Structure 1
Amino acid sequence: MRKTALVAALLAAGPAVAAETAAPLIVTATRTAETADETLASVTVITREAIERSQVRSVQELLAGLPGIGIANNGGDGKATSLFLRGTESDHVLVLVDGVRVGSATLGTTAFEQLPLAEIERIEIVRGPRSALYGSEAIGGVIQIFTRRGGGPDLSAALGAGSRATASASLSLRGGGGKAWYALGLSGLDTDGIDACRGSLTEGCFAIKPDEDGYRNLGASLSLGGRVGDVEVELGWLRSEGETEFDGAFQNGADTLQEVVRLETRIERGEALWTVRLGRARDESDNTLDGAFVSRFVTERDSATVQADLPVGAGVLSLGVDYLDDEVGGTAGYAVETRRDTGVFAQWQAGSAAGDWALALRHDDNEQFGDHVTGSVAWGREVGAGLRLVAAYGTAFKAPTFNELYFPGFGNPDLDPERSRSVELGLRRRQWWSLTLFATRIDDLIGFDASFTPRNIDEARIVGLEGEAALRLGDWALRAGATLQEPENRGDGAERGNTLPRRARAFGRIELDRDRGRWSAGATLRAEGPRYDDLANTRRLAGYAVLDLRGAYRLSRALRLQARVENALDKDYETAAGYPQPGRGVFLTLRYARPRG
């Protein structure tokens, strides 16, 4: 059975521990540490090693096609990206950076396209409702991004160049041990991009300028930590500044800022662990038209968490309080600009001869929408031959965004919060393979009509099947995953029975790699079926399959040369109507990593 001491071990040692463990350690599924084999949730963990092996340039490329994850992107690097987890809405995914809630309170989504991949150590993806632990937004699941921390190579750097005048660079300095540690990262990306719009208003965008729409990003991260006796303190900071160009009649450029600051204290008392975390996340966008200022949107999210993980009998009892203060500003002039939420939660995890259990209950007091109670229960049991049967049920809710409620001329202040109920049943064989059936019903789902006014749809229903498998034979490694789902509008209007926008009924990806020590080679095939771009299902997007190739050669113990052919077959496709995706591109990266000692 999991122990709170395991929590302390993971948080104190950071990513180095996960890298040395056969089954990776995760903390997002239950807010306590457990291995991927132990968890009762459906999870995927992406390590730093996997990020570098893939050679992708962005978070959305890294996540696209993973079990349960669909991506819609408006024209390549740095362009607006939506992520759909298990067929739910793009704002039904809670995103955390080192435990701090991030994202825009006006849009309700996180700018994945703006997060600098060079500053990320690992990503944990938890599929299924998690409002019983995290409150609003976690209907489809939770994605937690962990930044680089102390440990690993003292010095690492990378230089890259390739098609579309793309250039990238990164530098990371890390060090320390059990008493004190530090990490500093800097990164940059510059690309001319592609012509990001080829449509019309009816197809999703204005084709105003047939030109290349570039993107530039500067990222930085800092982590400082120390331990004295049973007390550990860590300060974390992540900043990303972006400049992106696109086509539009009202604006065609944006300067963006994503910033997260965290101060965290952990105190061990025997097998009990106390955690106190203070965080601030800032999301800014200054929008321009031909270089002239047009509008500004700002979100500040101040958060505080106190959590106690206590050994009780044969299990662990977690008790906690979350406080969130959202404040929006800028030029839009919202009728309401602040919203506070206080959540109190409890979770009990225990194991017995009848199986492992995880039960959670949470009460949220939302300043605008009152009280919400959510809960979850999960059970798992070994059924022989390394097989594990898992079943879970959970409820969740999502408060409407400030744009949906108050955007001048388009907002609807009469919107109700979205509420959901989900069940899942899974069968797993450790880290080798898993199959999971899931079903979610969402009441009062928020959609947009033809006049772009948000409204509550009576009901949406999503039923699906996820599968993933991993196989290693000698120096060959195969990883595959696929999702089949029916994300259906179940409202009473003319759109009843339609497929929810931008969700394919089938998608997946296959990765094959061979590592011969000095050199390695691999390929990724992503495929997605047809889908629709609107609630009325009048704009159909064709299915596609995209092949990426990669290779690497180790020049010395510390130096490695990588090459990647993106979209090797030059497939012409769109994930959002009117916004093409990049064609074939070739990219080279030179990586240096000086081992410790």
Structure 2
Amino acid sequence: MIDLSDHQTVTITAYRTPLGDLENPSSTRVLTPTDLQESAPITLDGQLRLIPGAETFRRSSSLVANPSSQGISLRGLGSTSASRTLVTEDDIPLNDAFAGWIHWEELPELSIHSVEVVRGGASDLYGSSAIGGVINVLPVRPSANSAELTSSYGSENTYQDNLFLQGKRGAWGALATGGVLGTDGFIQTVPYERGSVDVPSNVHAQNGLLFLDHQQGALRVFVKGSAMNEARGNGTPIQQNGTRIWRFAGGSDWTPAGGGFFGGSTTVFRAYGSTEHYRQTFSTIATNRNSEILNRFARTPDDEMGLVLHWSKPLRPDLVFLAGSDTHDVRAGDFETVIKSGVKSYVNLHDRQRQTGTYAELLWTPGAWTISASGRIDWFNNFDGQQFLPTVTTLPQISQHVFDPRIGIDRKLSEHFALSAMGFRAFRAPTANELYRSTQVGSLLTLPNNDLVSERATGWETGIAMQQKWGTVRASYFWTQVNRPITALTTCSTCNPIQLKRENLGQIESRGVSVDFEAHPLTWMAVQGGYQFTNADVTKGTGDAPAGNWIPQVPHQMGSAQLRAYKPKIGTLSLQARMSGHQFDDDANTYLLHSYFKLDTYASHDFGKRIELFTSAENLFDRSIEVGRTPTLTLGNPRTIRGGFNLKLGPSPR
């Protein structure tokens, strides 16, 4: 039986050092295994939307979204195709190496134990892309001999099947997991604007992961490999894309006991790499949407390699020191065939990016105080860029040295209350995709700009936290200013497709308040949720994006709530509500997207210890959720109902 009132202090790793709820200067949320399992959405991006302020570039689910609209945003900072938030799994970045977006279908569902969301700049420890924060996926590790099979099917031929196998024998542990998921999708264009070219947007994906580790005393070593393959239809017969990713990683965790220099310390090492093949087709759609013409075919392969090393040691009971270094190297190509008036031309180029950083942190906990100070120096280089067609051209190089500090202070006022404050500097380097490759979503064509430079952010936040036996509440005020933000500015609103170009805008700001709560009013009931009000706008603009305009795709108000109840004889019932205020689809604030309310449900019942039946419904009231106006209006997922089962043999992996 699960006692939903059994609330424990959550341990988080926002500072790469464990801290409790009342000792942490940063605003954090954790999606527990229960949160993930009892959420109606089957993809991680949908589950993250339980946290106010966590939003992809557009409102649509990754089941029907073009990859270039899947950049993740925190703290109201928005995104373009790239994310202003870093996503990691066990210290390894998951942001697309070439473009910065997230492949939400990449990780097998049963390989994820929980997810930590750290809001606020964290470039002092993580480097580029952590302007809005860090989303850290904590993986399942082999702990027993068990197996689990899950399967579900529902509306629009939406399906998900996952298999998990794990084994533990002495010092050795192994697991294998993988699955398939997909949907035949739906037509996103509103009915009164559809033409014969409008077909359902959809995805069909497969993923898998193998993991092996060995624990010998204080030393754990591991190796793992994973793969994903997906094919997407982006709403017309011609507009399609496909992705294949192979990842590998190895590393060690060393925690020697005893005295001496290394005694009581923790040393973490990771070596990783990936190979990705991405392809996409683009088209020009007639005004009446009854015909389309292929205008471009692109292949974008890339390879990445990286190393991570960090070491921490308690210098005394109330003082911990951490130091580390990492490097990340990406080699990418873009091979495109452009068709204009029946004439083909070619764009072939390659590029290389490298980011190397070194950092240190000091965490001091005298009495009721928690004081942290950290800083990082990054060396970012974009080099070896060459375009081969129509002529051989050397592309501009970028070389930057960046220093990002952060300081945090937390003061416990009593056993149940704490005040906190935190200030930071952060940065995000332009991706190769933003520098060199055009992207298209619907009727929007965004052109690259090889003169882009990195974004620089300054921010701070202050908050109050309360922890009682019945739950926790945390409220924060935050302010972040981003200079030279990379934005897609409209250059031709009457063209077909509408043309935008990436530019470094003058300045944007996001300031507001957020409240998170979790309560257990009864032993069998839990309530959690939050609210975020954000005034996110342009403070130094130009052209169609003057000062005072809202940041595209960022609403001023967002809120969510989840009610979960559990009775052994009845089962589990979970209700998940989400609301979002209106927002604008473009930098000129011409295309308004109205507010929405969405209710999801999940219910399950156990038949013995091994079999669980469940059902879920997304958008239960079948609300029309506006996703984009380009200027054609597109909508989000209609009501989707699924049913399925879990079969468990042995202990559950989560």
Q: TM (normalized to structure 1)? A: 0.90
Query: Quick check: 283-292 or 411-420, which moved more?
Result: 283-292
CA contact (8 A) 2:40 2:601 kept: no
- Name 2:10's counterpart in structure 1: 24
Encode CA deviations 1:86-119: one digit per residue, 9 max, x unaligned. Answer: 1113321111122111222432222225544343
1:102 partner letter: L
Equivalent positions of 1:120-139 (< 5 A) are: 120-139=112-131
- Name 2:28's counterpart in structure 1: 43
User: Structure 2 stretches of 5 or more lacking a match?
Assistant: 1-5, 257-262, 284-292, 337-346, 382-397, 439-445, 492-499
SS of residue matched to 1:572: coil
* Pairing 1:264–2:267 present: no
* Pairing 1:79–2:130 present: no
SS of residue matched to 1:331: strand
- Could you tell me how far apart the structure 2 residues matched to 1:380 and 1:207 are? 58
* Alignment equivalent of 1:522, drawn from 569, 574, 577: 574
SS of residue matched to 2:306: strand
* Alignment equivalent of 2:319, drawn from 288, 292, 315: 315
1:310 partner letter: K
CA contact (8 A) 2:24 2:420 kept: no
Identity across matched positions, percent: 22
- Could you tell me how far apart the structure 1 residues matched to 2:426 and 2:282 are? 40
CA shift, 1:210, in A, is: 3.1
Encode CA deviations 1:237-258: one digit per residue, 9 max, x unaligned. Answer: 2322111112258x42112123
1:151 partner letter: S
- Name 2:460's counterpart in structure 1: 423
- Name 1:535's counterpart in structure 2: 587
1:456 partner letter: N
* Alignment equivalent of 1:302, drawn from 302, 305, 327: 305
Equivalent positions of 1:80-229 (< 5 A) are: 80=66, 81-90=70-79, 91-151=83-143, 154-176=146-168, 179-198=171-190, 209-229=197-217
Compared with structure 1, are the counterparts of its residues 120 and 70 closer, same or farther at alpha carbon in structure 2 (3 Å cutoff)? same
SS of residue matched to 2:34: helix
- Could you tell me how far apart the structure 1 residues matched to 2:170 and 2:191 are? 56
Equivalent positions of 1:504-583 (< 5 A) are: 504-518=555-569, 519-577=571-629, 578-583=633-638
1:268 partner letter: T
1:306 partner letter: L
Compared with structure 1, are the counterparts of its residues 153 and 562 closer, same or farther at alpha carbon in structure 2 (3 Å cutoff)? farther
CA shift, 1:456, in A, is: 1.3
- Name 1:475's counterpart in structure 2: 524
- Could you tell me how far apart the structure 2 residues matched to 1:115 and 1:359 are? 33
Encode CA deviations 1:47-94: one digit per residue, 9 max, x unaligned. Answer: 222211114211111011413212324566142333211111332111
- Name 1:461's counterpart in structure 2: 509
CA contact (8 A) 2:299 2:334 kept: yes
Encode CA deviations 1:178-223: one digit per residue, 9 max, x unaligned. Answer: 72211110211132111134499xx9xx966233233211111122
* Alignment equivalent of 1:369, drawn from 399, 422, 435: 399
Encode CA deviations 1:10-67: one digit per residue, 9 max, x unaligned. Answer: xxxxxxxxxx99233333x112334445432211111222211114211111011413
- Name 2:495's counterpart in structure 1: none
- Name 1:10's counterpart in structure 2: none
- Name 1:13's counterpart in structure 2: none
- Name 1:279's counterpart in structure 2: 272
Compared with structure 1, are the counterparts of its residues 75 and 247 closer, same or farther at alpha carbon in structure 2 (3 Å cutoff)? farther
CA shift, 1:467, in A, is: 0.5
2:486 partner letter: I
SS of residue matched to 2:51: coil
User: Structure 1 stretches of 5 or more lacking a match?
Assistant: 1-19
- Could you tell me how far apart the structure 1 residues matched to 2:462 and 2:170 are? 41
* Pairing 1:391–2:421 present: yes
CA contact (8 A) 1:442 1:459 kept: yes
Query: Quick check: 123-132 or 41-50, which moved more?
Result: 41-50
Compared with structure 1, are the counterparts of its residues 237 and 450 closer, same or farther at alpha carbon in structure 2 (3 Å cutoff)? same
Query: Quick check: 522-531 or 365-374, which moved more?
Result: 365-374
- Name 1:254's counterpart in structure 2: 241
Encode CA deviations 1:353-381: one digit per residue, 9 max, x unaligned. Answer: 36111111111111223210000000101
CA shift, 1:457, in A, is: 1.3
Compared with structure 1, are the counterparts of its residues 116 and 230 closer, same or farther at alpha carbon in structure 2 (3 Å cutoff)? closer
CA shift, 1:551, in A, is: 1.2
SS of residue matched to 1:571: coil
CA shift, 1:579, in A, is: 2.9
- Name 2:219's counterpart in structure 1: 231
CA shift, 1:281, in A, is: 3.3
Compared with structure 1, are the counterparts of its residues 281 and 125 closer, same or farther at alpha carbon in structure 2 (3 Å cutoff)? farther
Compared with structure 1, are the counterparts of its residues 221 and 26 closer, same or farther at alpha carbon in structure 2 (3 Å cutoff)? farther
CA shift, 1:325, in A, is: 0.4
1:393 partner letter: G
Compared with structure 1, are the counterparts of its residues 483 and 389 closer, same or farther at alpha carbon in structure 2 (3 Å cutoff)? same
* Pairing 1:586–2:641 present: yes
- Could you tell me how far apart the structure 2 residues matched to 1:247 and 1:146 are? 34
Compared with structure 1, are the counterparts of its residues 224 and 131 closer, same or farther at alpha carbon in structure 2 (3 Å cutoff)? same
* Alignment equivalent of 1:350, drawn from 364, 369, 381: 364
1:182 partner letter: A
CA shift, 1:527, in A, is: 0.6
Q: TM (normalized to structure 2)? A: 0.83
- Could you tell me how far apart the structure 1 residues matched to 2:61 and 2:253 are? 43
- Name 1:56's counterpart in structure 2: 41
- Name 2:385's counterpart in structure 1: none
- Name 2:542's counterpart in structure 1: 493
RMSD across aligned C-alpha pairs, in angstroms?
2.5
- Name 1:381's counterpart in structure 2: 411
CA shift, 1:318, in A, is: 0.7
SS of residue matched to 1:442: strand
CA contact (8 A) 2:40 2:616 kept: yes
CA contact (8 A) 2:91 2:308 kept: no
- Could you tell me how far apart the structure 1 residues matched to 2:514 and 2:145 are? 36
* Alignment equivalent of 1:338, drawn from 352, 374, 377: 352
Point out the structure with max Rg over C-alpha.
Answer: 2
Query: Quick check: 509-518 or 188-197, which moved more?
Result: 188-197
Compared with structure 1, are the counterparts of its residues 245 and 286 closer, same or farther at alpha carbon in structure 2 (3 Å cutoff)? same
SS of residue matched to 2:362: strand
1:412 partner letter: N
- Could you tell me how far apart the structure 1 residues matched to 2:510 and 2:131 are? 12
SS of residue matched to 1:26: coil
CA contact (8 A) 2:22 2:412 kept: no
SS of residue matched to 2:206: strand
- Name 1:12's counterpart in structure 2: none
CA shift, 1:462, in A, is: 0.6
- Could you tell me how far apart the structure 1 residues matched to 2:228 and 2:7 are? 31
CA shift, 1:165, in A, is: 1.5
CA contact (8 A) 1:75 1:579 kept: no
Encode CA deviations 1:102-158: one digit per residue, 9 max, x unaligned. Answer: 222432222225544343222111100000001111000011223332126711111
